[in-house]
Structure 1
């Protein structure tokens, strides 16, 4: 493990610049384990399911809690773009946040330990990743060259060493991996105990499967593209919310010249969902992803798109034109993307 030099400056913890967004259907007792790391931050809790149910939050946390009634009240007719009975509802928290950065975590994720037995401070590592540049245009075989104890390898162009802004920090999971339902069914006892002490920039032009259970991003940069789609109740698909946002965000980051990092930090994942139910939710997506991935791989956004919102609306138009032929659901999803963009502007435009 690379040692931090004694001259290194301590990492700012961004107490007033970061919100933690948590989607949930249950009491948040899991926060007790996270108290040493989360208590100094503001929490935005998005309650899914029955809005009349009372969700208990441990004392001592600074939080806002929104249920479906609040979503309908705040967004009015635009509330139709926020999923119901699916963790995709978390993106409502991104809408109402006023902070520069977002960290989002699932309520079945717990504090993991590094190989030395020390509790992993996920916020600290995500902040490190977001505050240091990315290298999407030329792969550094020592992974993140900005980390203490690493640098650019021989042959890395000096003209590229300043890197670019990091928009997304994608963390990983120990214990239960983020597998799709068919893989869960054939490997029900599979567990991930492998801790890889590395962060890497995902290369430009390469897609990835983004998981929302341990994720941080620069809301001011890429927030308008972090829409988790129409999933769950009333929709023919679930479980693809975070991946859809990741595909959209990666295409836009590539266009805007920003980076996406994946690797550290780890959480300990105790899956709360049922793999048979997951198969029902993901069934259509398993087929549709074979069309969606080539679509995103082929997308070229016009140079006239100079903002995330412009890119996102162009992407929505292309989704309707190209993927609408695969299934009418994608026409509805494209409309949801437009509604989301309008809601973002409505809640985040300074008068």
Structure 2
């Protein structure tokens, strides 16, 4: 029974898919997986299709031309601009594909610069999503949880997207009763997922990090306590179908402000707020993946991040005040979209928040058009 859509954005090392297929085959999950490779017209899409055929797995490859054809077939060509080309945020296309096919109960995001460890990768994600019971919960006096907190006294790392104003937090471990996990975030060894400023502070000009992580840096799996936020990185992430309305990977790179690299970070903030409102949880820890980030200019990443660094310090507070009466992920997302559109703070590039909020509204409209079912019930607030 194929119930899981595995979404891989790739323009580089797509052969990594073979390793994930081999892992799934070894542990007996391959018949559950359908691979969606999201690529570009300048890439070897035919080679990717041949790879899937050689591996004997179900899947499709979508370059730019194939995506345009799919939009036309589904009658949603008016929403094509929601998915930026040649951007990591094109993972949203995979979410649309998942949403259009009701057989998929789960989605998995995998980045093409990762490899699975020698453990049951997909099985662990499935177990995490099915997890129930008293669970280690982490909170801080800054309302933010560093997903690398367990050995932070040794390595001093904070992940990409963690607000600078929330650093030097006081961490408290407690427990929470968990009965519905909606997302399973696997963490990473080798190259940590850091922002450009922190990479520069670590003394690396090639976009990686001098400080690396190992299995020993991680302890017990945990959830971020209800009411606290965390960074969500989509390189190694499984989730339930129900969160798709609140999990749009935001419009980065191809925008008037040249903002990039916050697609999964901000979508994670909105997902966590929505999950809290629904009484659900985001689970963190295993399965680990090996992150083999290719060298590139740290300053290129810095140029993508700088236009939204101030906004990143505040966007979560806008989300935290929205959606208190929401009864669904779609309603929660619509409320957060309205909050971004209506914000009145004088932030640098603050108009980008309005732009993001408008795209969030249209994401819900797109899902409605795709399935013919209304996913967002609240009325749209005035701009």
Fold in common (TM above 0.5): yes
* C-alpha contact (below 8 Å) 2:37/2:61 kept by paired residues: yes
| Partner secondary structure for residue 254 of structure 1 | helix
Q: Distance in 1 between matches of 2:290 and 2:64?
A: 29
| Alpha-carbon distance between aligned partners in 1 of 2:199 and 2:312, rounded to the nearest angstrom | 18
Q: Once structures 1 and 2 are overlaid, which stretch shifts more, 85-94 or 173-182?
A: 85-94
> Which deviates further from its counterpart, 253-262 or 65-74?
65-74
CA distance in 1, matches of 2:328, 2:362: 17
1:119-130 alignment to 2 at 5 Å? 119-130=118-129
CA contact under 8 A between 1:174 and 1:268: conserved in structure 2? yes
- 2:38 and 2:314 map into 1 onto residues whose CA distance is 31
- Distance (Å, rounded) in 1 between the aligned partners of 2:199 and 2:114: 18
C-alpha displacement at 1:121, in angstroms?
2.3
Q: CA deviation at 1:325?
A: 4.6
| 8 Å contact from structure 1 (residues 136, 203) kept in 2 | no
TM-score (norm 1): 0.81
Partner of residue 108 from structure 2, selected from 103, 108, 122? 103
In the alignment, structure 1 residue 183 sits paired with structure 2 residue 198: yes
| SS of aligned partner of 1:19 | strand
Three-state SS of the structure 1 residue aligned to 2:36 is strand
Q: Does 1:245 align with 2:267?
A: yes
> Equivalents in 2 of 1:285, 1:70: separation in Å?
31
2:281 aligns with 259
Shift of the 340–263 alpha-carbon distance from structure 1 to 2, 3 Å rule, reads same
1:287-345 deviation digits (Å, cap 9, x = unpaired): 2212223333x414232x21211111111000111267531111111111111111112
SS in 1 for 2:59: strand
Partner of 1:293: 316
Cα distance, 1:284–1:216 mapped onto 2, change above 3 Å: same
| Contact 1:129 1:166 (8 Å CA) reproduced | yes
TM-aligned CA deviation for residue 285 of structure 1: 2.3
Q: 1:273 to 1:231 in 2, by over 3 A?
A: farther
Are positions 1:53 and 2:43 aligned together? yes
- Judge conservation of contact 1:134–1:165 (CA < 8 Å) in 2: no
> Cα distance, 1:138 vs. partner?
6.8
- Contact in 1 for aligned 2:135/2:222 (Cα 8 Å): no
Q: Contact 1:169–1:261 (CA<8 Å) still a contact in 2?
A: yes
Q: Tell me the residue number matched to 1:77.
A: 78
250 and 273 in structure 1: CA distance in 2 versus 1, 3 angstrom threshold? farther
Indicate if the aligned counterparts of 1:136 and 1:202 stay in contact, CA closer than 8 A. no
Following superposition, the deviation at residue 206 of structure 1 comes to 0.4
1:12: which partner in 2?
none
The answer for the alignment partner of 2:189 in structure 1 is 174
Where does structure 2 lack aligned partners over 5 or more consecutive residues? 140-173, 205-209, 375-383
Shift of the alpha carbon at 1:170? 0.7
Deviations along 1:202-243, whole A, 9 cap, x unmatched?
100001010010001011x21111111110123521111101
After TM superposition, give the deviation of residue 68 of structure 1 in Å. Answer: 2.2
2:357 is equivalent to residue 309 of structure 1: no
Is 1:271 the counterpart of 2:267? The answer is no
Give distance in 2, aligned partners of 1:138 and 1:176.
Answer: 26
CA offsets per residue over residues 9-47 of structure 1, 9 Å max, x none? xxxxxx521111000113521122223224622101111
- Map of 1:63 onto structure 2: 59
TM-score, structure 2 normalization:
0.75
Q: How many residues align?
A: 308
Instruction: Give the equivalent residue in structure 1 for 2:358.
Output: 335
SS for the counterpart of 1:247 is helix
Q: 1:321 to 1:252 in 2, by over 3 A?
A: same
Q: 1:20 aligned to 2:6?
A: yes
- Counterpart residue number, 2:370: 347
Pick aligned residue for 2:225 from 195, 203, 223: 203
Inter-partner Cα distance in structure 1 for 2:128 and 2:79: 33
